Chain A
């Protein structure tokens, strides 16, 4: 076996920073968008970022049972699917009554 000239190393920190960058983008999208579906996209981005972090820890950090990180990631995906279904149904239901899904025009509860 030949010895490689250069060995690249991926540290846990780098995985966590990629996850944090994705989470920050998702937070920005969720907080700033006017369209309710756009906000939902931001939430999905954040959930994905959290999953990257979970799997990074499962792969690299010390744990008695590293598969737990994968279990939690699968639960996150499950709950995200349920949340997306209900939230998009809500958006469509609001659209039927108000002809808009812009959150700054849905002000029924404002007095």
Chain B
């Protein structure tokens, strides 16, 4: 457990902000506003990561989620101008609400019922160096596979959105 007043207060403020922004993502009726609230959620989650002394993951979160993914989503909304911008729900709204409520109840029950093995190791001093070592020693194969995955995804995205020049004879 964490016994630092500042970190605990920061954690609860950030958690409240993050969950409120996530709820707003679900509630607002304008798709662009939903993307903006989602970006705020990502920033709040990065703050929570810092409270859990995960400095490298927090920076990666800001760079990739708050930076790249939010911009990508804004682009996707802007590139579909004639589509319905209303952030509405399908007929599955009520079942989805019930299902996610049930899931939350089950997880909370399990979390409170389990006797977790808590370590008293304390906060990480710094994680970047040990993460780099982990990526290049025991996890070098998954690391390379992730690189290939990113490249395949990039090529795939380009191929999917490419304008075909021989469209007229197709």
Contacts and interface: CB of A to CB of B under 8 A. Distances in A.
Given A10-B1, A21-B104, A34-B90, A81 B160 contact: no
A21 to B, nearest CB: 6
Interface string B40-79: 0110010011011110110011001100110011011101
Nearest to B91: A104
Given A38-B87, A86-B160, A101-B83, A12 B146 contact: no
A62 B118 contact: yes
Interface residues of A, number: 78
Given A12-B118, A33-B89, A91-B80, A82 B69 contact: no
Contacts of B150: 78, 81-82
Interface in B1-34: 1-5, 7-9, 11, 15, 18-19, 22-23, 25-26, 31, 34
B11 A10 contact: yes
A29 B130 contact: no
Contact of A31 (B48, B95, B121): B95
Residue of B53, B154, B161 most packed against chain A (CB within 10 A): B161
Interface string A2-32: 0010111111110111101111111111011
Interface in B93-107: 93, 95-97, 99-101, 103-104, 107
B154 to A, nearest CB: 7
A21 B19 contact: yes
Contacts of B41: 22, 45, 48
A23 to B, nearest CB: 7
Nearest to B9: A8
A73 B54 contact: yes
Contacts of A93: 160-161
Given A26-B22, A81-B64, A99-B83, 19 more contacts: A8-B8, A8-B9, A10-B7, A15-B11, A22-B19, A28-B97, A34-B88, A44-B65, A45-B25, A59-B2, A62-B118, A70-B131, A74-B60, A82-B150, A82-B153, A88-B76, A89-B157, A89-B158, A92-B161
